[in-house]
Amino acid sequence: MTSTVQHPAHRQAFLGGLLLAIVGAVFFSAKAIVAKLMYRYQVDAVMVITLRMVFAFPMFFAVAIWKSRTNPPLARADYLRITVLGLMGYYLSSFLDFLGLQYISAGLERLILFLTPSFVMLIAFLFFKRRVGWIEWAALLVSYFGTVLVLMHDLNTGGSNVMLGSALVLGSAFTYSIYLISSGELVRRVGAVRLVAYAMCVSSVACVIQFFILRSPGELFTQVAGVYQLSLFNSVFCTVLPVFLTMVAVERIGAPTAAQAGLVGPVSTLFMGAVLLDEPITSIQLTGTALVLAGMWLLSRKKV
């Protein structure tokens, strides 16, 4: 009788966690759409990432203060590692991503970023001697073939800067994969919420410093209303909210299932790009997207 009563509750909790993971993936993927909309106001990647982090900083700082008061203090070495990870995983990776979005479609950007798990696998194989099975190699080849297919399509239709933009976004995926590998032990000791909050604060400070070096401070206050509105949306709904939605989802349904729910990200970006940016959807793009999703699905199943 106990299991009969509990089963619907467990199922409801699972479905709720799955919904949170899907919503988080869609909102996080939407940052590419928001960035492309901001570029229509003649702003560049420096302005986009700075305003994003300026608006997001108070929310992450509040979480950081809360965690610092409710958790044991960290060692100085941990603060140093968090600083390095914040600069690598959230500052450099995000900056390269927004730079690349100036030259490529939102759909291609999302596909390239979705290769991050494969980079994690390759780094673990090359530097940590992790064994990789044939299913994982097959998943790698399928997903890379899908990305190359879309890339070749965009090269023929998007101009000469597509390769540059793709290389920048590829650098973003690679730097973020290094962050994921390097943060493994720290996440277990510090906690995921605390680590993300601290690392995001570091990234925010780095973005502001970069802006003051490259731009006049007054430019932050002279943008049109649409830039600030999109930046606020980018900060709340495409940065802070998906981070915590994904964390709650992982806690409820586990990382492998949450990763599989994230497969909706590239698909949502493709269709949001068509509706909001008038980016065409072709059979080649759909085929390439399906191949990337199939490859990442195989990888996520292997981890289970």
Answer whether 266's CB lies under 8 Å from 273's CB: no
Percent helix, strand, coil in the chain, to 5, is 85, 0, 15
Answer whether 177's CB lies under 8 Å from 120's CB: yes
Q: Say how far apart CA 69 and CA 72 lie, in whole Å.
A: 8
CB atoms inside a 10 Å sphere around CB 34? 23
Question: What pTM value is reported for the model?
Answer: 0.86
Q: What angle do CA 116, 287, 120 make, to 5 degrees?
A: 10
Digit-by-digit pLDDT tens for the chain (304 residues) are 444 444 677 778 778 888 888 898 899 999 999 999 999 999 999 999 999 999 999 999 999 999 999 998 888 999 999 999 999 988 999 999 999 999 999 889 988 988 887 888 888 888 877 787 788 788 888 888 888 888 888 887 766 789 999 999 999 999 998 888 888 778 888 888 899 999 999 999 999 999 999 999 899 999 999 999 999 999 999 999 998 888 888 778 876 677 777 778 888 888 999 999 998 888 888 898 888 888 877 776 654 4
The identity of residue 72, as a single letter, is P
